[in-house]
A = this chain, B = another copy of it.
Amino acid sequence: MLYIVGLGPGPGYATEAALRAIREADCVFYEDYTGPLDLETLRRAAVGEPVRLARRDLEEESGRRIFECLREGRRAVLVTAGDPALATSHHALVALARARGFPVQIIPGVSIICAAFSAACLSIYKLGGVATVTYPRGGIYSRRPYELAEQNLRRDMHTLLLLDVREDGFFMPPRDAAEILLRLEEEEQRGVFTLDRHVAVVYRLGWGGSTLYTQLRDLLSLEAEGPAVIIVPARLSPVEKECLEVAAARRPAGKAP
């Protein structure tokens, strides 16, 4: 049996089902390239020392070490940050395991996508889609965040932007994302990511971070580090606006802890 388990966005978010699956596993693997893993909680739950798998272990080597454990008739668990299945990163592994006759159970965790909406007091009914702000690949910037936010603003829906994780495990800080969004505006010039565009930023959720509601220009000088998400809200309802402003007022914009 293979369990794929999400530990949530940071300390405190592990669920009882996740902890039980880890505790009862014979082989505990984890990856921390799709999100920031709470290794301390993982070590507390696991019986032995958890084994770190890099992207190439899972993608190029197809999780060979996981299958070595399964073939011996033992229980394996692969632990990730957030929710383990939402971004489809591990679907290939799930398909391979099932094709080889090993049952797979996915244990959902708290996803940053839902938790960020919750922390920013925004209504999930108005989530119009999710895109990722990426560092340029081969000099090219993905225009997907621009196009999605443009569509959603027109439909009066919110857009959630995840921020890139670099190959070396560095999480893009909000200031880099703001720079990229403003550069997209320079190229596209349709008034989506203007300097005065108000955005909500949820950074380091579960890791001592906070929520901000501020203009894109203010993010350029923000000291806060990643991981973070940026929400481009459509028109806020009075209830959303009041709640978001209060949530954000607890820490002045520009100051990170």
Contacts and interface: CB of A to CB of B under 8 A. Distances in A.
B16 A118 contact: no
Given A16-B14, A91-B239, A127-B129, A86 B114 contact: yes
Interface in A88-137: 88, 91-92, 94-95, 98, 106-111, 113-115, 117-119, 121, 123-132
A36 to B, nearest CB: 16
A129 B157 contact: yes
B12 A15 contact: yes
A65 to B, nearest CB: 22
Nearest to A128: B129
Contacts of A41: 16
Q: How many copies, total?
A: 2
Nearest to A124: B86
A67 interface: no
A246 interface: yes
A88 B91 CA distance: 32
Given A86-B114, A110-B108, A124-B87, A95 B12 contact: no
Nearest to A243: B91
Interface string A69-94: 00000000000000111111001101
Contacts of A95: 239, 242-243, 246
A47 interface: no
A59 interface: no
Interface in A218-257: 237, 239-240, 242-243, 246
Interface of A: 6, 8, 12-17, 19-20, 41, 83-88, 91-92, 94-95, 98, 106-111, 113-115, 117-119, 121, 123-132, 151, 155, 157, 237, 239-240, 242-243, 246
Given A16-B19, A108-B115, 13 more contacts: A6-B118, A13-B16, A13-B17, A83-B114, A85-B118, A94-B243, A95-B246, A106-B119, A110-B110, A113-B124, A124-B130, A125-B132, A127-B129
